[in-house]
Amino acid sequence: MHTRDIAYEIDANRYTGYLAFDDSTKTTRPGILVCHQGGGLSDHTRERARMLADEGYVAFALDMYGKVAKNMVEAMSWLNALVADPPELAKRARAGLEVLKQQPNVDSSRLAAIGHCFGGGVVIEMARSAPGLACVVAFHPGLTGQPEKDERKVLAKVMVCAGVEDPLIPAEARERFISLMSTAGADWQLLTYGRAGHSFTDKSVGALNMPGFFHNEAVDIRSWAAMRFLFDECFGPIR
């Protein structure tokens, strides 16, 4: 496997993403954009990129901040600032997608994006604002801030994987998501898992000691398998 950091600029500011791929074949592969959690590009995000590379995809973990938060207060400050500025959020997400598309081993006609927590919200936004994505998969995204209406077209297939005990995805937020996607005529899935809370894919989340935030290995495996099934549907088997 090959991995390396890739630096890129947005409005003269420096960002550094992480590329992972297996070069066992010289043919081009589907490219998967990976969007990090609220604290910035972390070991969790790099691990997910390597997992995708292990399965034959070219994965690029983008950088939404240009830095990594030192604590939760700092992370929430940066996250909230971007969520409050949708054009800037979309610009940074599309910049990461462009880096992925520029890789010579990526088939730019076969692209997807996945995200976790904050990154899950980013890829749901990208389903409306980033043409060229076949599908997006959001793992335990925060859904409490959804608008009542969004008349933009949903351009990609959408999958959300949510824990029923996630405090950031209460029942009313799940219903709002369903309403928005259905009104848009989207091809969407909402997979809700019992005994799972927020950040169920992250083995380190328990250190935060936050109610409703905990890892669930079984749900992590099941949701990853659901993502792979969607990728096979969109791209066909790649191995």
Q: Is 104 helix (H, G, I), strand (E, B) or coil?
A: coil
Q: Which residues does the chain have with pLDDT short of 70? A: 239
Tokens linked to 67: 């830095």
pLDDT at res. 36: 98
pTM of the model: 0.98
Residue with tokens 């995805």, as numbered in its chain = 169
The CATH number covering residue 229 comes to 3.40.50.1820
Q: Which residue has the tokens 């983008």?
A: 62
The number of folded domains in the chain is 1
So what's the pLDDT on residue 153?
Answer: 96
Unique residue bearing structure tokens 């500025």 = 85
What are the beta bridge partners of residue 162? 192
Looking at residue 184, its pLDDT comes to 96
- CA gap 105, 98 in Å, rounded: 14
Q: Which domain holds residue 97?
A: 2-235
Strands 188-193 and 157-163: parallel
What is the model's pLDDT at position 237? 87
CA 61 – CA 148 distance, rounded (Å): 30
